[in-house]
Structure 1
């Protein structure tokens, strides 16, 4: 009898647990267990009306992704929602002007806002944790409230907005930081110290100031169209670094030690000072082209090896490598400066360190470009001159080959052998 009563009691508890309309889930801190109403549990919520949104806005915790598309109201209000265990996606909703989530502090997945052409105002005052922030095509967005500051985030993409400043992110590590095509964005600030993927800042306001004072490590780096940049503590770039079309005067990379690929410094119209005193290795190429005010390329004072080609163009007065041991590619320099001495540069700066490429130099001092071909052992195998009909490209019509002694010797031996064979054949016919 007691057994039967106990069994019935157990069954009743089971039924109550299954059908009472609630389930249990750990909260974001993984310490407390809270009960969630069944209406707050779903793999995905597709929301198109304010009524559908109101039906879930009383959930403090939502288990599942929320996708809001073609929304029919000018205000998107997330009510009492504190946590979303999934993605929050709002897209293709031209009516939305204002978006408010007064209690939202946690989004397990990404927070994506895409193609919201009327959105001007976003308020997430308590948001601290989100995996990825992906905001694109918000052309008149001008105000964002992130009062608490996002402390846990892996990726940030912000493109095509009308924001004037970027901040509110207090994190040490990011996977991606991509800020582009925000035409009024004048200030970008972050305390991030490590970016494991790409850092891209480009096509924002012409006078944008970028401050990343704690950044030490990044995989791929692209900085374009900026007025000032603070990355003075950067130490390692895992792949390539590209600084192009900027208006800053100074590029301070005084703590940078190595690059895993190519370093490009191209068309920075006001650049006149570069600091790279600790850079010892560039695993790819080294390209410095058309920086109008950058005349002295003498800042590679510790550089020992370049894994690809070097190419320098501009009004270059001097270029010295005090510790360079090897360039595993070609070395090309084209200077419009009449005082630049190509013969000295080819002989004393790069001629002895190039392995398996060409050494090419032209300057305003002469109407010719000197070319020297070098094998992988560093030996000159061919040389010549190009007449510069066009100073930018040069004309190959005046190129004259100069065979090295080793090459000439090989040709002489081949000619001797052919003559010997001919004579022997002739004598055999006579016999």
Structure 2
């Protein structure tokens, strides 16, 4: 009997433990459901954010940002305001420096700014420094800083845009040699001598203007979807964009040399105005979607556009003193607007041109250019709808054609501009002589 009794006692004790554990679990679960839960959101002093590092492909990373480092705008008026952000490795929001009273703006230990850096109304700022700064999520916008001479951001690798205007003594900029992700670059009225070291395949805007010491503009950009404008810099500025294939609008002024060797397409317009280069070669250009102009380039002697076949707007070649023959469009077939040629050229050779959809104006100082031949043999067969005017040193002629190229008004010979002027002068002289004679006593 004793072994059986011991066995019954063991089974009874085990069952009691199982029941007790079940009761405890049930009570515990009920207590967990009824007890107020502790909040798991971050404390008021910290924000938890996700950082997507697209440029390096590192994916999502969790960072904690102190509340003082995260605002829509951080208004900075003096060194003290900036020092309060000195321990912010990452700043979320824009840094707006407005009415800054000190001479140095030091970004301290900040590595990332997820916004813009704007400096305005701060005529005392002489230096901007950020020796740890690696990334700007938006733009650097520096406006009307008359004392700013130096920008030092040696580790900066990424930002979206540069907008620097009216920085008349800015002469030293230190960036990482490979700043990427740029979309817009506007640099105006600075003392910088060159623009180089910005590596990007595509830009919306590249506008470098009124930098009186700027002697070199160089970039490996392949596409500019908005404006390319390089104007009114140093008279000897050299422009090197050898990889550029596509652009929307191009304006080049006051350049000594231009390298656009791979340019294939201009979506809207292109203008080369008042440059000092001796030659302009665009060996791969095939299409211009609007007006194409080459104007007032007094030193240019050689122009070459061997592949250009279509200009959808007008074609303007004016006042290029050393161009004596318009023979540099061997494949040009169609001009969608008017043509205007002015200068000292002796002949026009557009052998492949089939149609000009606007009017035509030709004005030359050449003694040998024959308006009559050009109007009858060339112009009247290609101009569709408009007035064709030709002025040479000897005479001028005008004809009107319809959309089918038929002459609707006969060729009209009139005196040349110089002849009219001489005749007017002669009449004036005779009249003056006559009046003088009337005033002589006794006559």
Residues 266, 289 of structure 1: 8 Å contact kept:
yes
TM value normalised by structure 1? 0.87
Give the aligned partner of residue 87 of structure 2.
Answer: 58
Conserved 8 A contact 1:23-1:38: no
Aligned to 1:153: 182
Residue correspondence of structure 1 range 4-403 to structure 2 within 5 A: 6=32, 11-14=37-40, 17-19=42-44, 21-29=46-54, 30-364=59-393, 366=394, 368-382=395-409, 383-390=411-418
| Bigger Rg, which one | 2
Q: What is the DSSP-based 3-state SS (H/G/I as helix, E as strand, rest coil) of the residue aligned with 2:37?
A: helix
Alpha-carbon deviation of 1:81? Answer: 1.1
| Contact 2:154/2:174, CA 8 A, preserved across alignment | yes
For 1:157 and 1:78, the matched residues in 2 are separated by 23
Distance 2:263 2:110 in 1: 40
Between the aligned partners of 1:154 and 1:103, the Cα distance in structure 2 is 23
Q: What does the per-residue CA deviation read over 1:189-210, in whole Å, with 9 as the maximum and x for residues that have no partner?
A: 0000100000000010011011
Instruction: State how far apart, in whole Å, the 1-side matches of 2:80 and 2:272 are.
Output: 50
CA contact (8 A) 2:45 2:66 kept: no
What is the deviation of 1:9? 8.8
RMSD in angstroms over aligned alpha carbons? 2.0
Partner Cα separation in structure 2 for residue 389 and residue 303 of structure 1: 31
Tell whether the 8 Å contact from 2:177 to 2:198 is kept in structure 1 after alignment: no
State the distance in 1 between where 2:387 and 2:127 align.
61
Contact 1:182 1:204 in 2 (8 A): yes
Give unpaired runs (5+ residues) of structure 1: 396-431
Is 1:388–1:394's contact at 8 Å kept on the other side of the alignment?
no
Residues 158 and 180 of structure 1 are in contact (CA less than 8 Å); yes or no, is this contact kept in structure 2? yes
Q: Distance in 2 between matches of 1:391 and 1:111?
A: 60
Instruction: Tell me if structure 1 keeps the 8 A contact 2:46–2:64.
Output: no
Query: Do the aligned residues in 1 keep the contact of 2:123 with 2:147 (CA within 8 Å)?
Result: yes
Counterparts of 1:106 and 1:139, CA distance in 2: 26
Verify the 8 A CA contact 2:380 2:406 in the aligned structure 1. Answer: no
Answer with 250-259 or 19-28: which moved more: 19-28
Separation in 1, partners of 2:420, 2:176:
54
Contact 1:320 1:349 (8 Å CA) reproduced: no
After superposition, the C-alpha distances for 1:260-283 in whole angstroms (9 at most, x for unaligned) are 100110000101111111001000
1:18-45: per-residue Cα shift (whole Å, max 9, x none)?
4353422315344212111111111111
Cα distance between partner residues in 2 of 1:392 and 1:100: 67
Whether contact under 8 Å (1:314, 1:336) holds in the other structure is yes
